[in-house]
Amino acid sequence: MAEVILHQYELSPFGTAMRLALGLKGIPWKSVEAPMVSPKPDLSALTGGYERIPVLQIGADIYCDTDCITSALEAYAPEPTLYPQPLGLAGKFIAQWAGNCWFMPAAGTALGGNADSLPEEFWLDREKRFGMDRKTFLPAVPHMQSQFAAGAQYLVAALADGRDFIAGDTVGHADLTLYMIVRFVQLSGIQPADLSAAVAEWYQRVEAIGWGDLESWTAEQAIQHALENTPVDACAVAPGQGWEAGQRVSVRTESPDPAAVEGTLVGLDDARISIARDDPKAGLVHVHFPRMGQILTPA
C-alpha cells in the first residue's frame, strides 16, 4: 500500500500549512524531517534536484510545491475539501496571494530582528535559491514590515464580521496559508492578538485542527518505499500544449534557484507538469509540478 509521506521541517511555513491540510483531511501520514538548507541528497533522490520544502510523496509519486500538493490531497481524499463553499476554488486565489505577495513581507518581519541568530549557511542558501542577499535584504526590512502590516489589514477586515473562517463556517486552504504567515511572524514577537481579537480567535480555531495521525520516518525509509512502489497517478500530455509524451525535458522554478529537474515528459496540461525519472536509489518515480511558476524547456 502506498503511504502518504510529507518531507518537511518544523519551522517551514509552507510545511506548517500542509501539516494542517493532512490533519484537516484526517489522512494518516509519515513525516520525514528534511534539512533546512541545501544540499538535500535524500530528497533529491526522489525529486531529481528540487529541494524546496515541503514535498509530498505518495508511494512513487512525488509532488512539488504546495499548489501541486493540495491538488494531490484533494484527489486522494476529496472530503473534507480544502475548498469549501461559498468560496470553493476561489479560496486558492487567497492562498496564492498569502503564499506569494504576503510571504516575503512576512519573511522580512519574521527574520529581520533575528538575522544574527541565523547561521551563515542559511543566508548563503537563501541567497542562492531565493535571491535573499543579506546585504540587500536586511536594509529592506522596515519596508517589508510595513507591507506585512498593510497585508494584515486584509485579514483583520475579512474576519471583522464575526465569521469563523475565511469561507464562512468551514476551514479551507486559504485559512491554512494565512495561518502559516501569522505563525511565522511570531518569531518577531507579533502575536495574533496584536492584529485583532477576531484574528486571535480565528488563529486558535485553525491551530486546533492539529497535524493528525503521523509517524516519523527516516529519509531512507521514504526512498525505499518509493523503490517498492510504482507511480499510479494518471498522466497524459494534453493536445495543443506544443509538447509530446516521451520528450526529455527540464523543469525549474521561476526564481533564482538554479536547480533543474530532468526527466521524460509523461504528463502536461494547464495545471500540471509530470516527468518520469529512474533514480539509482529510488527507482522509477513520477515527479509532479504545478504548471504555474515553473519553466519547462527541452533537456
CATH of the domain at 142: 1.20.1050.10
54 prior amide bond cis, ω within 30: yes
Question: Of the candidates 12, 5, 111, which has an alpha carbon nearest to the alpha carbon of residue 52?
Answer: 12
Mean pLDDT of 143-166: 98
Q: Is the pTM of this model over 0.95?
A: yes
* Domain-embedded: residue 178: yes
* Domain-embedded: residue 72: yes
Q: Based on C-alpha coordinates, what's the Rg of the chain?
A: 19
Is-contact 40 54, C-beta < 8 A? Answer: no
What is the Cα 104 distance to its own chain's centre? Answer: 14
Burial of 270 (0-12, 13-18, 19+ CB in 10 A): exposed
Burial of 134 (0-12, 13-18, 19+ CB in 10 A): middle
SS (H, E, C) 13-54: HHHHHHHHHHHHHCCCEEEEECCCCCCCHHHHHHHCCCCCCC
164/259 same-domain check: no
63/128 same-domain check: no
Among the three residues 163, 189, 207, which one is the final residue of a domain in this structure? 207
* Domain-embedded: residue 85: no
171/268 same-domain check: no
Mind listing the pLDDT tens digit for each residue in 27-48?
999 999 999 999 999 999 999 9
73/217 same-domain check: yes
Distance CA 156, CA 193 (A): 11
Give residue 153's pLDDT: 98
Is-contact 166 178, C-beta < 8 A? Answer: yes
**pLDDT tops 90 at residue 130:** no
* Domain-embedded: residue 266: yes
Among the three residues 207, 230, 249, which one is the final residue of a domain in this structure? 207
Helix (H) or strand (E) holding 144: helix 141-159
222/140 same-domain check: no
Helix (H) or strand (E) holding 272: strand 272-279
Three-class SS of residue 288?
strand
What is the Cα 266 distance to its own chain's centre? Answer: 23
Mean pLDDT of 58-81: 98
76/106 same-domain check: no
Give residue 115's pLDDT: 79
Note the residue count of the chain.
299
Summary mean pLDDT of the chain = 96
Among the three residues 187, 207, 227, which one is the final residue of a domain in this structure? 207
CA atoms within 13 A on the CB side of 143: 6
Confidence of residue 56 (pLDDT cuts 50, 70, 90): very high
**pLDDT tops 90 at residue 131:** no
Question: Of the candidates 197, 201, 297, which has an alpha carbon nearest to the alpha carbon of residue 251?
Answer: 297
Distance CA 218, CA 107 (A): 29
* Domain-embedded: residue 57: yes
Question: Of the candidates 105, 288, 45, 24, which has an alpha carbon nearest to the alpha carbon of residue 32?
Answer: 45
Domain that holds residue 235: 4-80+213-298
Give residue 41's pLDDT: 97
% residues pLDDT > 70 (the chain): 100
